[in-house]
Amino acid sequence: MERKITVDREKCVHCGLCVADCPMYCLEFGGEQTPQYQDGAEGLCIACQHCMAVCPEGALSFGGLNPADSLPTAYGNSDALLRLIQSRRSMRHFKDEGIPSEILAKIQAMLPFTPTASNANGLHFSIVRSRGKMEAIRRATYGTGALFGEVNSPGLRRYREKIASGEDIIYRGAPVMIAVASEKERTVPPCHGVVDAAISLTLVDLYAQSLGLGAVWCGLALHAALQIPEVLALLEIPEEYALCYTMLLGVPAVRYPRTVQPEPFRVKIL
Protein backbone atom coordinates (compact mmCIF):
# COMPACT_ATOMS: atom_id res chain seq x y z
CA MET A 1 0.00 0.00 0.00
CA GLU A 2 1.27 3.46 -0.90
CA ARG A 3 2.44 5.45 2.13
CA LYS A 4 0.60 8.68 1.38
CA ILE A 5 -1.72 10.82 3.47
CA THR A 6 -4.28 13.27 2.10
CA VAL A 7 -6.06 15.86 4.24
CA ASP A 8 -9.41 17.52 3.56
CA ARG A 9 -8.58 20.94 4.97
CA GLU A 10 -12.23 21.94 5.22
CA LYS A 11 -12.95 19.02 7.53
CA CYS A 12 -9.72 19.09 9.55
CA VAL A 13 -10.21 20.57 13.02
CA HIS A 14 -6.49 20.48 13.88
CA CYS A 15 -7.09 18.33 16.96
CA GLY A 16 -3.69 16.65 16.70
CA LEU A 17 -4.94 13.13 17.33
CA CYS A 18 -3.49 11.79 14.08
CA VAL A 19 -0.03 13.12 14.96
CA ALA A 20 -0.18 11.91 18.56
CA ASP A 21 -1.51 8.44 17.67
CA CYS A 22 1.14 7.58 15.06
CA PRO A 23 3.10 4.62 16.56
CA MET A 24 6.22 5.43 14.53
CA TYR A 25 6.10 9.22 15.16
CA CYS A 26 6.02 9.84 11.40
CA LEU A 27 3.69 12.84 11.36
CA GLU A 28 3.86 16.48 12.29
CA PHE A 29 1.79 19.60 11.70
CA GLY A 30 2.80 21.45 8.55
CA GLY A 31 2.73 25.16 7.84
CA GLU A 32 -1.06 25.20 7.47
CA GLN A 33 -1.48 23.23 10.70
CA THR A 34 -2.45 20.08 8.82
CA PRO A 35 -0.69 16.74 9.31
CA GLN A 36 2.13 15.70 7.03
CA TYR A 37 5.07 13.31 7.11
CA GLN A 38 8.17 14.57 8.87
CA ASP A 39 11.23 14.89 6.65
CA GLY A 40 12.59 11.41 5.94
CA ALA A 41 9.92 9.70 8.05
CA GLU A 42 7.69 8.43 5.26
CA GLY A 43 9.84 5.31 4.98
CA LEU A 44 9.20 4.54 8.64
CA CYS A 45 5.41 4.42 8.15
CA ILE A 46 4.03 0.92 8.75
CA ALA A 47 0.67 1.61 7.06
CA CYS A 48 -1.30 0.93 10.24
CA GLN A 49 -3.93 3.51 9.21
CA HIS A 50 -4.21 4.75 12.83
CA CYS A 51 -4.11 8.34 11.56
CA MET A 52 -7.15 7.76 9.35
CA ALA A 53 -9.02 5.72 11.94
CA VAL A 54 -8.57 8.20 14.80
CA CYS A 55 -9.60 11.38 12.93
CA PRO A 56 -12.96 12.42 14.42
CA GLU A 57 -14.06 14.20 11.24
CA GLY A 58 -12.80 11.70 8.66
CA ALA A 59 -10.61 14.45 7.24
CA LEU A 60 -7.49 12.33 6.73
CA SER A 61 -7.22 9.53 4.20
CA PHE A 62 -4.33 7.10 3.81
CA GLY A 63 -3.08 5.35 0.69
CA GLY A 64 -5.96 6.64 -1.41
CA LEU A 65 -8.56 5.01 0.85
CA ASN A 66 -11.82 6.79 1.59
CA PRO A 67 -12.54 7.13 5.35
CA ALA A 68 -16.26 6.94 4.53
CA ASP A 69 -15.74 3.34 3.40
CA SER A 70 -14.47 2.27 6.83
CA LEU A 71 -16.82 0.55 9.25
CA PRO A 72 -17.91 2.29 12.45
CA THR A 73 -16.11 0.81 15.43
CA ALA A 74 -17.96 -1.50 17.83
CA TYR A 75 -16.58 -3.23 20.90
CA GLY A 76 -19.38 -5.65 21.58
CA ASN A 77 -20.59 -7.15 24.82
CA SER A 78 -17.82 -8.11 27.23
CA ASP A 79 -19.99 -10.66 29.07
CA ALA A 80 -20.97 -12.39 25.82
CA LEU A 81 -17.34 -12.45 24.65
CA LEU A 82 -16.18 -13.94 27.95
CA ARG A 83 -18.87 -16.63 27.76
CA LEU A 84 -17.77 -17.48 24.21
CA ILE A 85 -14.17 -17.84 25.39
CA GLN A 86 -15.31 -20.01 28.30
CA SER A 87 -17.62 -22.11 26.10
CA ARG A 88 -15.39 -22.84 23.08
CA ARG A 89 -14.19 -26.43 22.83
CA SER A 90 -11.91 -28.23 20.41
CA MET A 91 -14.27 -30.02 18.02
CA ARG A 92 -13.26 -33.47 16.76
CA HIS A 93 -16.67 -34.69 15.59
CA PHE A 94 -18.04 -33.11 12.43
CA LYS A 95 -21.19 -33.70 10.45
CA ASP A 96 -20.77 -35.10 6.95
CA GLU A 97 -21.68 -31.82 5.28
CA GLY A 98 -19.86 -28.83 3.87
CA ILE A 99 -19.63 -25.34 5.28
CA PRO A 100 -21.89 -22.86 3.44
CA SER A 101 -19.95 -20.54 1.14
CA GLU A 102 -21.36 -17.45 2.82
CA ILE A 103 -20.00 -18.57 6.21
CA LEU A 104 -16.52 -19.19 4.81
CA ALA A 105 -16.70 -15.81 3.08
CA LYS A 106 -17.32 -14.15 6.45
CA ILE A 107 -14.26 -15.85 7.94
CA GLN A 108 -12.13 -14.88 4.96
CA ALA A 109 -13.31 -11.26 5.19
CA MET A 110 -12.33 -11.19 8.88
CA LEU A 111 -8.72 -12.29 8.29
CA PRO A 112 -7.22 -8.90 7.31
CA PHE A 113 -8.39 -7.44 10.63
CA THR A 114 -6.32 -9.85 12.76
CA PRO A 115 -3.43 -7.99 14.40
CA THR A 116 0.21 -8.64 13.50
CA ALA A 117 3.55 -7.41 14.84
CA SER A 118 4.53 -4.16 13.11
CA ASN A 119 1.32 -4.31 11.07
CA ALA A 120 3.10 -6.73 8.72
CA ASN A 121 1.10 -8.19 5.85
CA GLY A 122 3.22 -11.32 5.94
CA LEU A 123 0.76 -14.20 6.26
CA HIS A 124 -0.57 -16.62 3.64
CA PHE A 125 -3.74 -18.67 4.17
CA SER A 126 -4.51 -21.86 2.30
CA ILE A 127 -8.21 -22.61 2.84
CA VAL A 128 -8.92 -26.15 1.70
CA ARG A 129 -12.66 -26.43 1.11
CA SER A 130 -12.82 -28.77 -1.90
CA ARG A 131 -13.89 -32.28 -0.95
CA GLY A 132 -11.55 -33.62 -3.64
CA LYS A 133 -8.59 -31.69 -2.26
CA MET A 134 -9.29 -32.84 1.31
CA GLU A 135 -9.48 -36.44 0.10
CA ALA A 136 -6.18 -36.02 -1.73
CA ILE A 137 -4.59 -34.74 1.49
CA ARG A 138 -5.97 -37.72 3.40
CA ARG A 139 -4.67 -40.20 0.81
CA ALA A 140 -1.23 -38.59 0.82
CA THR A 141 -1.17 -38.68 4.63
CA TYR A 142 -2.36 -42.22 5.18
CA GLY A 143 -0.69 -43.71 2.11
CA THR A 144 2.73 -43.59 3.71
CA GLY A 145 4.13 -45.16 6.85
CA ALA A 146 6.38 -42.17 7.43
CA LEU A 147 4.05 -40.31 9.76
CA PHE A 148 4.18 -42.60 12.78
CA GLY A 149 6.53 -45.23 11.40
CA GLU A 150 9.05 -45.06 14.21
CA VAL A 151 7.36 -44.16 17.46
CA ASN A 152 7.79 -45.36 21.01
CA SER A 153 5.13 -43.20 22.63
CA PRO A 154 2.08 -45.26 23.68
CA GLY A 155 -0.16 -42.37 22.66
CA LEU A 156 1.27 -42.15 19.15
CA ARG A 157 1.12 -45.93 18.79
CA ARG A 158 -2.60 -45.68 19.41
CA TYR A 159 -2.86 -43.15 16.58
CA ARG A 160 -0.98 -45.54 14.30
CA GLU A 161 -3.38 -48.35 15.23
CA LYS A 162 -6.37 -46.12 14.46
CA ILE A 163 -4.91 -45.26 11.06
CA ALA A 164 -4.30 -48.93 10.32
CA SER A 165 -7.96 -49.64 11.06
CA GLY A 166 -9.02 -47.01 8.49
CA GLU A 167 -10.08 -44.29 10.91
CA ASP A 168 -9.50 -40.67 9.90
CA ILE A 169 -7.86 -39.90 13.22
CA ILE A 170 -6.00 -36.83 11.93
CA TYR A 171 -8.52 -34.86 9.86
CA ARG A 172 -11.60 -36.20 11.66
CA GLY A 173 -13.74 -36.02 8.55
CA ALA A 174 -13.58 -32.21 8.60
CA PRO A 175 -14.70 -30.60 5.33
CA VAL A 176 -12.37 -27.58 5.63
CA MET A 177 -8.78 -27.06 6.70
CA ILE A 178 -7.00 -23.74 7.09
CA ALA A 179 -3.21 -23.74 6.86
CA VAL A 180 -1.53 -20.46 7.81
CA ALA A 181 2.03 -19.71 6.75
CA SER A 182 4.35 -16.80 7.41
CA GLU A 183 7.11 -15.20 5.37
CA LYS A 184 10.18 -17.28 6.18
CA GLU A 185 12.27 -14.36 7.44
CA ARG A 186 9.58 -13.73 10.08
CA THR A 187 9.75 -17.29 11.47
CA VAL A 188 13.24 -16.91 12.95
CA PRO A 189 13.76 -15.28 16.37
CA PRO A 190 11.94 -13.22 17.55
CA CYS A 191 9.48 -15.31 15.47
CA HIS A 192 6.94 -12.55 14.91
CA GLY A 193 5.46 -14.44 11.96
CA VAL A 194 4.71 -17.51 14.07
CA VAL A 195 2.99 -15.31 16.66
CA ASP A 196 1.04 -13.56 13.91
CA ALA A 197 -0.17 -16.95 12.64
CA ALA A 198 -1.26 -17.99 16.14
CA ILE A 199 -3.15 -14.72 16.66
CA SER A 200 -4.98 -15.12 13.37
CA LEU A 201 -6.07 -18.70 14.08
CA THR A 202 -7.16 -17.77 17.59
CA LEU A 203 -9.57 -15.23 16.14
CA VAL A 204 -10.67 -17.69 13.43
CA ASP A 205 -11.39 -20.19 16.21
CA LEU A 206 -13.57 -17.78 18.17
CA TYR A 207 -15.32 -16.25 15.17
CA ALA A 208 -16.01 -19.64 13.57
CA GLN A 209 -17.61 -20.91 16.77
CA SER A 210 -19.71 -17.76 17.04
CA LEU A 211 -20.98 -18.65 13.53
CA GLY A 212 -22.03 -22.11 14.70
CA LEU A 213 -19.00 -24.01 13.42
CA GLY A 214 -16.63 -26.32 15.24
CA ALA A 215 -12.87 -25.84 15.13
CA VAL A 216 -9.77 -27.68 16.30
CA TRP A 217 -6.12 -26.73 16.26
CA CYS A 218 -4.65 -29.76 14.50
CA GLY A 219 -1.02 -30.42 15.35
CA LEU A 220 -1.20 -33.83 13.67
CA ALA A 221 -2.17 -32.22 10.35
CA LEU A 222 0.74 -29.82 10.77
CA HIS A 223 3.03 -32.78 11.51
CA ALA A 224 1.79 -34.56 8.38
CA ALA A 225 2.44 -31.51 6.18
CA LEU A 226 5.93 -31.03 7.60
CA GLN A 227 6.85 -34.72 7.31
CA ILE A 228 5.26 -35.65 3.98
CA PRO A 229 6.23 -33.47 1.00
CA GLU A 230 3.14 -34.47 -1.00
CA VAL A 231 0.85 -33.17 1.74
CA LEU A 232 2.70 -29.87 1.92
CA ALA A 233 2.58 -29.54 -1.87
CA LEU A 234 -1.19 -29.98 -1.86
CA LEU A 235 -1.51 -26.90 0.36
CA GLU A 236 0.08 -24.79 -2.43
CA ILE A 237 1.98 -22.53 -0.05
CA PRO A 238 4.28 -20.08 -1.89
CA GLU A 239 8.00 -20.87 -1.72
CA GLU A 240 8.83 -17.77 0.31
CA TYR A 241 6.46 -18.81 3.12
CA ALA A 242 6.83 -21.40 5.90
CA LEU A 243 3.85 -23.33 7.27
CA CYS A 244 3.09 -22.40 10.89
CA TYR A 245 -0.10 -24.24 11.86
CA THR A 246 -3.31 -25.90 10.69
CA MET A 247 -6.92 -25.75 11.86
CA LEU A 248 -9.90 -27.93 10.95
CA LEU A 249 -13.40 -26.49 10.57
CA GLY A 250 -16.79 -28.07 10.13
CA VAL A 251 -20.36 -28.28 11.29
CA PRO A 252 -20.20 -29.79 14.79
CA ALA A 253 -21.76 -33.19 15.33
CA VAL A 254 -21.88 -32.79 19.13
CA ARG A 255 -22.84 -29.97 21.46
CA TYR A 256 -21.37 -29.20 24.86
CA PRO A 257 -24.11 -28.11 27.30
CA ARG A 258 -21.66 -26.79 29.90
CA THR A 259 -18.16 -25.38 30.25
CA VAL A 260 -15.20 -27.20 31.77
CA GLN A 261 -13.65 -26.20 35.11
CA PRO A 262 -9.97 -25.68 34.26
CA GLU A 263 -7.19 -25.37 36.78
CA PRO A 264 -5.89 -21.81 36.87
CA PHE A 265 -2.56 -20.84 35.38
CA ARG A 266 0.17 -19.59 37.66
CA VAL A 267 -0.21 -15.82 37.89
CA LYS A 268 1.97 -13.40 39.81
CA ILE A 269 0.76 -9.85 40.20
CA LEU A 270 3.76 -7.52 40.25
pLDDT at 118: 85
- Nearest of 135, 157, 140 to residue 148 by alpha carbon: 157
Q: State CA 267 to chain mean position distance.
A: 27
Give residue 164's pLDDT.
83
pLDDT tops 90 at residue 222: yes
pLDDT at residue 146, rounded to an integer: 62
CATH code for the domain defined by 5-69: 3.30.70.20
Res. 177: pLDDT tops 80? yes
Per-domain residue ranges of the chain: 5-69, 78-250
- Give how far Cα 122 sits from Cα of 116, 127, 242, Å: 9, 16, 11
Is residue 65 very low, low, confident or very high in pLDDT (cuts 50, 70, 90)? very high
> 94: which DSSP letter?
B
Is residue 231 scored above 70 in pLDDT?
A: yes
Could you tell me which residues come within 8 angstroms of residue 104 by beta carbon, excluding any fewer than 6 positions away?
Answer: 127, 129, 176
Q: Which of 243, 228, 248 is nearest to 124 (CA)?
A: 243
Q: What is the reported pLDDT for 149? A: 62
Among the listed residues 176, 65, 204, 196, the one whose alpha carbon sits nearest the alpha carbon of residue 124: 196
Q: How confident is the model at residue 96 (pLDDT cuts 50, 70, 90)?
A: very high
Q: What's the whole-number mean pLDDT along residues 21-39?
A: 89
Task: Dump pLDDT digits (tens) for 154-164.
Answer: 777 788 888 88
Q: If one looks up domain 78-250 in CATH, what number appears?
A: 3.40.109.10
Q: Is the pLDDT of residue 145 over 70?
A: no
Domains 5-69 and 78-250 share a fold: no
pLDDT tens column, 118-131: 888 999 999 999 99
Q: Which positions ≥6 away from 139 have C-beta within 8 Å?
A: none
Q: Distance of alpha carbon 240 from its chain centroid, rounded? A: 18
**Residue 252 pLDDT:** 98
Integer Cα distance of 117 and 203 in angstroms = 15
